[in-house]
Structures are given as C-alpha cells and as structure tokens.
Structure 1
Amino acid sequence: MNGGGTIASAALLVLFVLAVLLVLLSVLPRLHSQSWWVHVWDFPRPQVAGVLVPVLAGLVVLGDPGSPAMLGILAAGGLALVVQLRRIWPFTRLHATQAQTAAGCAADLSLSLLTANLKLRNSGAERLLAQIRRMRPDVVFVVELDSSWSDALEPLKQDYPHHLVHPRPDFGGMALYARLPLVDAQVQFLLDSYVPSICAGLRLRSGAVVAFHGVHPKPPTLFGHGTVQRDAELLLAARSAGCGPRPAVMAGDLNAVAWSRETGLFMRIGGLMDPRIGRGLFATFPATWPWFLRWPADHVFFSGEFRLLHLAKLPEIGPDHLPLYAELCLEPDGPQPKPGPVEPAATASLIAGGRRKAAAFEPPPQQVPDAGRHPDALGELPHGRRLLAEATDKVQPDRVMFHIDVAAAITRPTTSAAKSCRAVARSRPSHTPSNTRSSGSREAGQTATHDAAARSAVHSTAVR
C-alpha cells in the first residue's frame, strides 16, 4: 500500500508541476513583448492544449477535490485550455469558413499557386520539380533560395518563362516563377535595405491583373532582435497589399503561425483572408516531425475578390517545410468581407520599433543590396482594394508613393477611407541588386523584366 501511495503521490506531483508549467506557457504569448522566448509559445498551442487535457484529467482523478491548491490549479488549467482552444478553434472544421468556396471557375479567371521554403543548402530539387510537374501551378514562389537552389531550378524556366530570381546566401533569397505574364515585377525592401520581398502583377488569362506579394520576414532570434523586425515587415507588406488598386494575393513563410496576434493584425490591415479558417490547420512546419507536432507557418492569403477552389499541403520534398498549394478564382463582383477593427497606435509603434532595430543591424557589406529605404510610414492602411485607382491615373506610374492619414483610414468606412489614401509623386533612385535575375514580358508603361533591364528596376512600393 505504501508503495502504491508513494507512486500516486509522485504522479500527482508531476501532474501538478506540469499543469503549472502549461498554464505559464499559455499566459506568455499574451504579454505585449517582442521577445522571441515569449512569442515562440504562440506556435505550439495545439500541442499545449493536447497535453493539458490528460494532465487536468489526471489531477481530477488523483487529487484531493477539497484542496485549495488543487482547485486553484484546476481552475487555472481550465482557463488556459479555453485560451488555447479559442485561438485554434477557427482553424478547425467546426468554425465557419472565412474565404468562400467557389463552386466552379472559368479557366481564364483561375489562379493556382505553390509556395515553399527550400531551406538553405538542402537537397530535394528533384522532388520539388516533380511536385510542380504534378500540380502544374500557374505561379511558384520559393524562399531561402541560394545559388545552388537557383541552378537546380533552372529547368523550371522552360515551363515558367516569366520569372524573377533573387538568390542570396542567407534567408533572404527568393524567386517567383510564373506561366502568366508578370507586370512590373520587382524586388522590394520594405523595412530596410537588407530584407527583400517580391511584388509583381500577374496578368490572368482573362487580361485582369492581380497583385502578388511574396514575403519572408527576418526570422526572430532568441537573444537578438526578437520578433519586432518580423512584425514590422509583415505590417508594411499588408499595408502595401491593402492600399493597392488590384485584387491581392500574398504568400510565403511568415515565421509566424496563423493564429498569432500579429497575423490577425496583418490580415485586418491588408483586408486579407486566410483560407485555413474553417478548413483545418494545414500545418507545414517542421516537415520532419510527426503531423500532430507541426504548425501552420507557410501561408497563402488573398483579398475578398477571390474564392477558394482548393487548398492542400503537399508531400515532403526534403527541406523542413512542406509546400502549400492553393487554387483561387477571381470574382471581383462577389460579396466582400467586412473589414475588422485595427489599432493604429499599436501598428505605428510596431513599425517604428522595427525600423529602429533594422537601423541598428549591420549586415556584412557584400550582402547588402543596393537599394533605397522604404519611406517612413504614418501608420497602417485602410481595407479595400482599389483605394489608389483614381489617384494613380493623375501621376506618373513609376513615381507613385502612398502615404496615409491614419485617423481617417481607421475611423472612416472603407468607401470614405479610400479618399484618405492619397498618392504623392516623389522622385526615387532606381536600383536593383546585382544578384537579382528577372525575365518576363514587358507591359506597356511598365518596367521591363528582362535580364538586361533588371539592373534598373525600381525598388519601391510604387502602386501601378
């Protein structure tokens, strides 16, 4: 009996300590901190919830129901479980879908996309190429592309004649390959002159042009810059998409999970939808771990003019991320989602903090692309897609920069807020990093995307 009692007491102690630890891990992400050791616990919310259930059940069975300590930890544990489930519940089939499903789609209005993180110095090009040949997406966007990956993906250019390739020996390499003509494809530097993103118009078979934004913000570090640069980069990218005159698609590895507070703010600012909501986690990272330990770190977002035809995570290709595949249908006259609330002061503070951290970061000179800095932001942009259509008709398209009256953008309804998104013509130097290779079709009045012209491409958030 003593032996059995000792084992039960030890088990109870272990469960109690585990419950306290899980409660703390549930509270940490709620702190307003950019420290990575705090925000990293945003990732394993499903796993924390999955462990909390048996731990709390064990405490109920083994614990003394009259003990104040036991009642306290059960109450705290139950609250922590509610907090975790509340975050991940939208990404289950029990929740209503955010992005509407298209019953069908005309071929000239469809857009299919595959995005993948290749992981530097990894092998697996043949498996990736095989997946692309099998799925035949219209657009392929990859990140962490170094020169070896760039060479390995050369065969893609036979079927994807329009491309913008920006290899780097670090996390910043990326490339866009398209069957569809590219309109003014360019590498941008939204936060600083070091972290790139890709912006391009995609001319659908119908002739309509949609905006594509490919992003891979700087990965947070445990004892370095934390999440502040990542968050600022995401908000700037969302602002760029949200103020554009075209339907927008954004894809890439955000180094953030779908249910994080920052991802939610990013979606509200950009007026973007997450096709995962109401459909499942579609967890892509880490690919080498069992499915129940993965997180949704790779994303495809799109504006309200699109409907979803298909969403899938693809089989492992070698790197530590699974590719994500989406098929969309452009329905510009369909019902649009209502914009959610935003926090202008918090957003402006995040962007300003990211700029300060980025200014303090000094990368090796040979890795710094020759590009101008993005103009300072006044805050975040309103929701909506065609906010600059009227203004951009009156200025030179290669000199358009946008600024926002934050108060008007946030407090007025979308139709009125469009008037506050004013385009301001200003001169900018034209730069393109020497390691950026671009090819595609030249559109009337747009920047040429051939290799010979790539060195003079404009690096800005110009809205065409």
Structure 2
Amino acid sequence: MLIISATATLFIVIATALPLLKHTHWLVRGMDFPRLQIASIAMGVLIVEFIFLDLQRPITGLLIATTALCFFWQLWWILPYTLIWPKEVKATNALDPNSQLSVITANVLKTNRNSDALIDIVAAYKPDILVTLESDTWWQNRLKVLEADMPYSVKCPLDNLYGMHVYSRLPFSEEKISYLVEKDIPSIHLALELRTGDKVRMHFVHPAPPSPTENAESTERDAELITIARSIAETAQAVIVTGDLNDVAWSATTRLFRKISGLLDPRVGRGMFNTFHAAYPFLRWPLDHIFHSSHFTVKNIQRLPSMGSDHFPLFTLLVFNPAVEGSQKGLTANHVDHAQAKTVSEEKGARKQDVPTPNK
C-alpha cells in the first residue's frame, strides 16, 4: 500500500508541477485542464493514506503533506468557479425585455448530424444570438430554417473543424471575418444593436488548442486571445467575447485575458458550467466561454442539454445596465501582466491593431 500511495502521490505532484514550468508545450498546458480531476484524485489518495498507512512513520507524514499541498494548490485555481466564491457579476431580475440579451454558444462537432437537436434547443430558448463552432456547409444548410426568426447572420463554413456561424434576431453592422493568427482559423467581429438602441461590440472566437493533433504549443491560441484582450482594453464601450476558447476558465492564459481586457466572467461564484466532454462525466471542464464588460449584469447562465456533440451548448441571459458599471470589478492587470501580454502577441506577430473594432 505504501508503494501504491507513493506512486499516486508522485503522479499528483507531476501533474500539479507541470503548469508551473510556464512552458507552452501541449503536454504542459494540458495540465491546466483537469485541475478538478487532479484535486479529486488527491483527496482520494489522502483518505487512503490516512486510513491504510502507518501515521507514525515519517514517510507517511511526508506523503500526506505533499498530497495535501497539491490538493490545496489545485483547489485554489477552481474555487472561484464554485458557489462559495463571491459573484463577480451581479445578479438581476430585470423584467424589461428591451435591455436583455441572450446568447447560445454551441460547438456542434462537425461530424455530428443531429442538427434537429440544436434547432429544437434554439426553438425552446429563443436566443437573440446563436454562434456555432465547427459548423461546415452541411450545418449551414441544416440551420437555414433558423433564418426566418434570426434574419441577420455571418457565415464562415469550413471543413477544418473551425467553421463558424452567427445567427441573430437583432440587427448588427460592421461585421468582419478575420484570421488574426492562423490563416485557416477565423474569428467573427461585429457591432450588435440592442433593442434599446445601444451598440455592443462582439467578438466570436475559436482558436486551435495545444494538442498532439493540432498545435504542438499553445502560442497560437494564446496570441489570438491576448491580442483581442489588448484591443478590448482600449475601449470604454460595451463588449462581449464568446466562443470555444479551447482553454479552461481557470488557466493562466484565460486569467491574463481577463486581466488585460477588463472583462468579467459571469461564472465566477456561480459554477464551472463544464461544457466538454459531453460523453465522459469525469473528464469535463469549461471550454465554452462568455465574457462581458461591466455594462451587463446576469439573469441566467446554464449548460443546455446534449445535442449529439462532444460539447454541451452554453446559454447566457445578460441585462444591459450601464448604471452598475462602476460597481463590478474583475481581475486587474499590473505592469508585469501588460508586458507579458505584449510578448505573447508579438511572439506570433499578432497586432492589436488588426483586431476589428466595430463601432469604435
């Protein structure tokens, strides 16, 4: 049992220590994802060590202390996405429909052919905005039925798992499809007009992940996200960023994105809303995100039922309320963060000036 416990503790230590290396290799950055799972395993190992090992032996004390340290370190990253943490975005029960904006973010999985499930979800929740990721020409043709109720759209069908479509009940302008870092990885940018007449700058993103089958390192993903954040930092207008970031909410990159952009995360204090992987309950983490400026409060955020994809859709109902802007604060950046963000962008030749700035 001592050998088994020591082996398990060594695994936990390695998994915990790898992200501290700050290396961009996919194996290192991949350890940002399963912090909840690693914490769960560490808790299980701690229980085993307390029950089955001789607590009088120094080696047992060392194993318990090491495992406990890893457990609390992992917990530090994920606790903001639990109900015990203070909410970053204020809740609201505002009834005025003109000030509300609802968004469904859905990675459909290109090979998934259950389009009726997504169409039924849209019919049930009636979002103002639907953004689909991994949508190709087949999906574009199947979702054409949505255009009767959502007549405004931007379409970028691709066969490389990075197609993207935006459907809207509300009018928008200055729409643009950009390839900020990689020539085959698009993002969509537009100025949405709310029912109140106010304009919202929206960015829809789906950067490629660091993985053995995609990019060997996270530099491309990080550069796209951070470059958009640097552009957003220069505006005082209402902003929303949503999509499949191929990164978890608690990673160092996502935290840097929030610091630089100044955007808020409505999940903080409400839950993780793990959207991937739909088929494996124990291997789930939040890959699909929505961030917004402090012009908004949140009325509802929820993970929607499965639609046959490896992702669950994410539904968010925001309320435009500029009066609360000064009372909502997220993470703040210091000079080190700004220097790091500039380095991340420049490493891939990405410029914040290349990010479309609708309604600037």
1:176, CA displacement in angstroms? 0.6
Q: CA deviation at 1:345?
A: 2.0
Question: Is 1:263 matched with 2:254?
Answer: yes
2:338 is matched with which residue?
344
Q: Work out whether 1:188 is the aligned partner of 2:175.
A: no
CA distance in 1, matches of 2:155, 2:245: 19
Q: State the SS of the aligned residue for 1:293.
A: coil
Residue in 2 that maps onto 1:333: 323
Q: In the alignment, which residue of structure 2 is the partner of 1:47?
A: 37
2:235 match: 244
* 8 Å Cα contact 1:19/1:56 also seen in 2: no
> Match of 1:411?
none
Give the letter for the 2:108 counterpart: L
Higher relative contact order (Cα pairs below 8 Å, separated by 6+ residues): 2
**Which of these residues, 90, 99, 106, is aligned with residue 116 of structure 1?**
106
Q: Aligned-pair distance for 1:462?
A: 6.0
Count of aligned pairs between the two proteins: 355
Unaligned runs of 5+ residues in structure 1 are 1-10, 356-373, 378-400, 403-458
| Alignment of 1:179 onto 2:162 | no
CA contact (8 A) 1:36 1:227 kept: yes
* CA displacement, residues 72-131 of structure 1 (integer Å, 9 cap, x when unaligned): 221111110010111111111000000111131421111000000011121110000000
SS at match of 2:317: strand
Identify if the C-alpha distance between structure 1 residues 49 and 122 changes in structure 2 by more than 3 Å, giving closer, same or farther.
same
Give the Cα–Cα distance (whole angstroms) in 2 for the partners of residues 96 and 460 of structure 1. 33
Match of 1:38 among 13, 18, 28: 28
Correspondence for 2:190 among 196, 200, 212: 200
TM-score (norm 2): 0.94
**What is the CA–CA distance in structure 1 between the aligned matches of 2:218 and 2:101, rounded to whole Å?**
32
Question: Which residue type is aligned with residue 235 of structure 2?
Answer: G
- Counterpart of 2:340 in structure 1: which amino acid? A
The equivalent of 1:285 in structure 2 is 276
Checking the alignment, whether the CA contact within 8 Å between 1:20 and 1:73 is kept in structure 2 is: no
Matched, 1:84 2:74: yes
Q: Distance in 2 between matches of 1:216 and 1:134?
A: 25
- Among 339, 347, 351, the residue aligned to 1:353: 347
Does 2:141 align with 1:151? yes
Determine the structure 2 residue equivalent to 1:360.
none
> Per-residue CA shift, 1:331-373, capped at 9, x if unaligned?
1122433451241221122112233xxxxxxxxxxxxxxxxxx
- Check conservation: 1:105, 1:329, Cα contact below 8 A: no
Q: CA RMSD in A?
A: 1.7
The equivalent of 1:140 in structure 2 is 130
Partner of 2:83: 93
> Structure 1 vs Structure 2: percent identity of aligned residues?
33
> Tell me, which stretches of 5 or more residues in structure 2 are unaligned?
none
**Counterpart of 1:28 in 2: which secondary structure?**
helix
Following superposition, the deviation at residue 184 of structure 1 comes to 1.0
Which runs of structure 2 are paired with 1:221-236 in the superposition (5 Å)?
Answer: 221-222=211-212, 224-236=215-227
Structure 2 counterpart of 1:265, which letter?
A: L
SS of residue paired to 1:272: coil
| Helix, strand or coil at the partner of 2:200 | strand
1: distance between equivalents of 2:243 and 2:298? Answer: 18
Q: Structure 2: how far apart are the matches of 1:350 and 1:188? A: 19
Q: Highest CA radius of gyration, 1 or 2?
A: 1
Query: When the two structures are superposed, what TM-score results if normalisation uses the length of structure 1?
Result: 0.73
Question: Where does structure 1 differ by over 3 angstroms across 4 or more consecutive aligned residues?
Answer: 459-464
Distance across 1 between alignment mates of 2:197 and 2:298 = 20
- 1:245/1:463 contact within 8 Å kept: no
